[in-house]
Amino acid sequence: MSNDMNHHIKVYRNVFLALLVLTGLTVGASYFEFGGIIWLAVGVGLLIAFVKGYLVAANFMHLNNEKSFIYLVLVMTVMFFLVLFFMPMMWHNDGLRSPSHIPMQNGEVYEKPSTDDHHDHGGHH
Amino acid sequence: MKIPYNEELRPDTGLYNAKLGIWLFLASEVMLFGGLFSAYIMLRLSDPNWANYGQSALNVPLATLNTIVLITSSVTMVMSWVALKLNDLKKYSMYMGLTLLCSFGFLVIKYIEYTSKFDHGLYPSTNNFLAVYFTLTGLHGLHVIGGIFVNGYFFGPGKKMWKTEPERFTNRIEVAGLYWHFVDLVWIFLFPALYLL
């Protein structure tokens, strides 16, 4: 048992260090321009987050060595999560780039179309 | 009457009951935060004014510090469980105390961030980004506070179970740890999603 635990302690220390490095990497990457390609910047940011999440879940939460019943619960969770996550986007299946009918604070959609309003701060799109 | 499967493993699941219980709870938590994350992405992608909402004004160094504080607390939490596995109650208390200290540190830093936003007249009602920011970080903050209550109990009065049922107490700390690592996990995604991207 004691030897087993010593191994655990070593793993936890290494994971801790890895998480610190990855945190630094996330912050550093956010200052990097990626040639102005936004999806690449978002992708790198999320990739690092997923690696960190994996390290925490697999080691601290012992998911790398857990009973199959827990995995079953988690597979179900992931399935429902994906439905929850993408269902609203599918409702807007005319494409995410069409914002016109989503209510927005500060957006121009609900601005009253008036001719005598000279204080329009909403911008023109 | 003794509650079954507190320590011994239930034959059909291979788990003690509390562990299955906490995982089911965490599954529901995934849905709670998942819905809000989904809302965030929807609002952001569909809002042409997003860039003007002051996301870049968030304090990245403070949030980075908070990330480190929370990761540290996750490590001390798992170490408190290791200490119990090694029959070392003193070490357990030390690590659990450190976990609590980090938790309070996280809240103090969050408080500084919030008040500086309020001082600049930035409220959840100001715009969509701030609404999302305060909702997500606020809900996460509530989870930290919840964790403090649970861990505080196990640090203080709850500890006496160690004398009578050490294995059950160790399991309790593992379960509390699973919750706490989940809170850490949520922050790992919140931090880049809100502050950096």
Q: Which of A56, A1, A49 is nearest to A23 (CA)?
A: A49
Residue B31 has its nearest CB partner, among A84, A97, A107, at A84
In this prediction, residues A51-57 reach a mean pLDDT of 95
Chain centroid, CA B188 distance in Å: 10
Binning pLDDT at 50, 70 and 90, where does residue A104 land? very low
**Does A124 score more than 80 pLDDT?**
no
Interchain CB distance below 8 Å, A102 and B46 = yes
Interface contacts (A, B; CB < 8 Å): 145
Q: By percentage, how much of chain B surpasses pLDDT 90?
A: 74
Residue B189 has its nearest CB partner, among A12, A53, A107, at A53
Is A56 at the interface with chain B, CB within 8 A? yes
Distance from C-alpha of B18 to C-alpha of B16, rounded to nearest angstrom: 6
Is A46 at the interface with chain B, CB within 8 A? yes
Interchain CB distance below 8 Å, B60 and A53 = no
- Give the alpha-carbon dihedral of A84, A90, A95, A99, to 10 degrees: -60
Interchain CB distance below 8 Å, A56 and B185 = yes
Domain ranges of chain A: 2-61, 67-92
Residue B117: partners with Cβ closer than 8 Å, 6 or more residues away = B123, B130
Is A19 at the interface with chain B, CB within 8 A? yes
Residue ranges and CATH numbers for the domains of chain B are 17-49+60-196 (1.20.120.80)
**A107/chain B closest Cα distance in angstroms:** 7
User: What per-residue confidence (pLDDT) applies to A93?
Assistant: 52
Contact B155, B96 (CB under 8 A): yes
**Mean pLDDT computed over every residue of chain B:** 93
User: What per-residue confidence (pLDDT) applies to A17?
Assistant: 96
Q: Which of B18, B172, B188, B17 is nearest to B96 (CA)?
A: B172
Per residue in B82-139, pLDDT (tens digit) is 999 999 999 999 999 999 999 999 999 999 999 999 998 888 888 888 999 999 999 9
Residue A49 has its nearest CB partner, among B42, B47, B189, at B189
Binning pLDDT at 50, 70 and 90, where does residue A92 land? low
Per residue in B20-46, pLDDT (tens digit) is 999 999 999 999 999 999 889 888 887
